[in-house]
Amino acid sequence: MTTRTAVVDLDGVLYAADTFATLAIHRYRRSPGRVLAVAASAPRLAWAWRHEHLRPGVLRRLATRAVAGMEQSAYDALARQLAKEMARSARVVWDGVSVLRGLRDAGWRVIVATASEHELASAYLRGIGLDAVELVASHLDPTAGRFVVHNHGTEKVRQLELAGCTRWDLAYTDSLSDLPLLAHATRPVLVNANSTLARKAADRLGIEPEVVLWSAGRSR
C-alpha cells in the first residue's frame, strides 16, 4: 500500500504570522543600532519593495540583518526561546494542527515545508505537539547573516525532492509563492484565502484549488 503524503506550509498556515519575522522584530527592538543601519538603506529597499518580484529579497535582507553577527549557539537559544513563546500564543492555528494530527494518525507522511529557519521551525513544531512530522526548512548562517538554504518558492520543491518526496497528495499553503508546491499536489489547498488570492491561484495553476478556513486561538 502506498503511503499518502501531505506537504504543509508553516507561516500563515500553522502560525498566524511569519515566525522568522517575529524573531527579527524581537532583535530589532533590542538593538537600535541595527535599526539605524537598516534606515540608511531605506530608499533602496523602498524602491525594491515597489517591484513585487523583488519583495522576497527585501524581506530576506531585513530578516538576516537582524541576526547578523550572532554566534550559532546564541541564535539557536534565542530561536528556541521565541518558538516556545509562539507555541503558547493565540497565533497557533489549532485547526491546522488538528488536521495534521489526524493525517498522521491515519498513516500519512506529513512534511512541513517552510521558508522559516530550521531551528526556529523545529522548536515551534515541538511546542505545538507536531514534533513527529518531518520538516524541510531554511538553513541560516547567523554569524554571516545569510541563508545557506532559503527554502522559498521553487526551492521548496527542490528540497523536498532531496528528501525523497517528488509528488504529494495534499498541499496546504496561504501564499502564491507556493504555487510550485501546489502544482505538484493532487489536491492543492489554500488556507484562509480571499477570493482574489483563490482566483490568481486558479489562473496560474489551471485548476480551482480547494479553500479551507482555519482559525487560531488559545490551546485546545
pLDDT tens for each residue of 54-109:
566 556 777 888 898 999 999 999 999 999 999 999 999 999 999 999 999 999 99
Q: Can you give the pLDDT at residue 29?
A: 85
In this model, does residue 135 exceed pLDDT 50? Answer: yes
In a domain, 101, yes or no: yes
In a domain, 218, yes or no: no
d(CA 90, CA 135): 23
In this model, does residue 49 exceed pLDDT 50? Answer: no
In a domain, 97, yes or no: yes
In a domain, 220, yes or no: no
* Pairing of β 5-8 and β 168-173: parallel
Q: How confident is the model at residue 52 (pLDDT cuts 50, 70, 90)?
A: low
Label residues 70-90 b or e (16+ Cβ within 10 Å = b).
Answer: beeeebbebbbebbeebbebe
d(CA 115, CA 113): 7
In a domain, 52, yes or no: yes
Poorest-pLDDT segment among 9-23, 29-43, 117-131, 165-179 = 29-43
Q: What total of structural domains would you count in the chain?
A: 1
In a domain, 217, yes or no: no
In a domain, 18, yes or no: yes
Does the pTM surpass 0.75? The reply is yes
Q: Can you give the pLDDT at residue 37?
A: 56
CATH code at position 92 = 3.40.50.1000
Domain span at residue 33 reads 5-212
